[in-house]
């Protein structure tokens, strides 16, 4: 098993978002495991939160998990956030 790095999570998440429009931490974790990485949900969730802030990804929280996207049009809900280094900005569709 290969160790998890922020760049591995970034590459996997971006690939999934390009392929499917959105992704979740569960989908990222599953893909990382399929690719031979040691991935635990808590670690993936923490890294995804940090990466979303750094990269300016959009996300929508369902209350149980977040749906991440590269652009606001890919999050098909009434309200979504853009992650920023210090806070999330609310947008309404």
- Write the pLDDT tens digit of every residue in 15-34: 999 999 999 999 999 999 99
Task: Give the CA angle between residues 29, 22, 40 to the nearest 5°.
Answer: 10
Per-residue pLDDT tens for 57-88?
988 888 888 899 998 876 655 445 566 554 44
C-alpha separations of 71 from 39, 46, 50 in Å: 26, 21, 17
Q: How many CA atoms lie within 13 A of 60 on its CB side?
A: 19
- 56 has a pLDDT exceeding 60: yes
Cβ atoms 80, 91 nearer than 8 A: yes
The overall pTM is greater than 0.85: no
Residue where the block lists tokens 């160790």: 3
Structure tokens at 61: 């929280």
- CATH 1.10.10 given to domain 6-92: yes
Report yes or no: 67 and 59 within 8 Å, Cβ to Cβ: yes
The residues spanned by each domain of the chain are 6-92
């Amino acid at each position: 098993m290969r160790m998890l790095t922020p760049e591995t999570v970034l590459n996997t998440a971006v690939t999934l978002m390009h392929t499917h429009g959105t992704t979740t931490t569960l989908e990222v974790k599953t893909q990382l495991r399929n690719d031979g990485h040691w991935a635990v949900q808590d670690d993936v969730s923490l890294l995804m939160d940090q990466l979303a802030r750094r990269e300016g990804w959009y996300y929508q929280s369902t209350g149980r998990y977040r749906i991440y996207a590269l652009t606001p049009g890919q999050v098909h809900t009434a309200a979504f956030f853009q992650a920023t280094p210090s806070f999330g900005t609310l947008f309404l569709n």
